[in-house]
Structure formats: C-alpha cells, structure tokens
Amino acid sequence: MTKPQDDTPLASRSGTSNPFGKCTEDVRAKVPYVIKEGLSRLVNESGMSEAEYVRDVLMVHVLGVDAVIKIHEERIKRFAGMGQEKA
C-alpha cells in the first residue's frame, strides 16, 4: 500500500457507518465457556466480526426487529440513490 501524499491521517470508517453515529460506549460481560464457544460459532457462520455481531443482536433486542430492518432498508436506499432527493 502506498503512503498518501500528505501526512493527514485517514479515518478507518465513515462517521455514518452506524445509523446512530459513532459507537462510543462499551458493553462487557463475563460468560461461561460454552456460551463463548457458541457465540464464536455463530459469529463465524455470520461472516461478521464478534463486535459487529453482538452490536446487531443488541440492536434487534433493544429496538425490535422491524425497526432494525427499517434502519437498514433506509441506509441501503440512500447509497443506492433511491432515498430522498438531496436539496
């Protein structure tokens, strides 16, 4: 990978990668080995990172599946050019 022309640091992801903005809060829990093992299996099957998987599961449980589906549909429509017209 080539170094950019200037020394300006590049962001690793956009500020809009999550519909609620930047993820700044930590959630931690100790779990039994069998739960961690099962979580690892589900994460591998999903193709997501563990953090992304847990974040999505929490969103579904906190907001409800219909709300999360709507959020993702609106986001996809925006980048597909199917959202509201820009002013």
Whole-angstrom Cα distance, residue 13 to residue 51? 15
Q: Per the structure, how many domains does the chain have?
A: 1
| Structure tokens that stand for 87 in this block | 């002013």
Q: Domain range holding 84?
A: 50-87
- The larger pLDDT score, comparing residue 7 to residue 20, is at 20
Within-domain flag for 61? yes
Asked if the structure places residue 1 within a domain, the reply is no
Residue 73 placed within a domain: yes
Q: Answer yes or no: is 87 within a domain.
A: yes
Evaluate whether residue 80 is within a structural domain: yes
Report yes or no on 79 lying in a domain: yes
Is 21 part of a structural domain of the chain?
Answer: no
* 26: confidence class by pLDDT, cuts 50, 70, 90: very high
In a domain, 81, yes or no: yes
Cα–Cα distance between 49 and 14 in angstroms, integer?
Answer: 18
For residue 13, pLDDT beyond 70: no
pTM across the whole model = 0.67
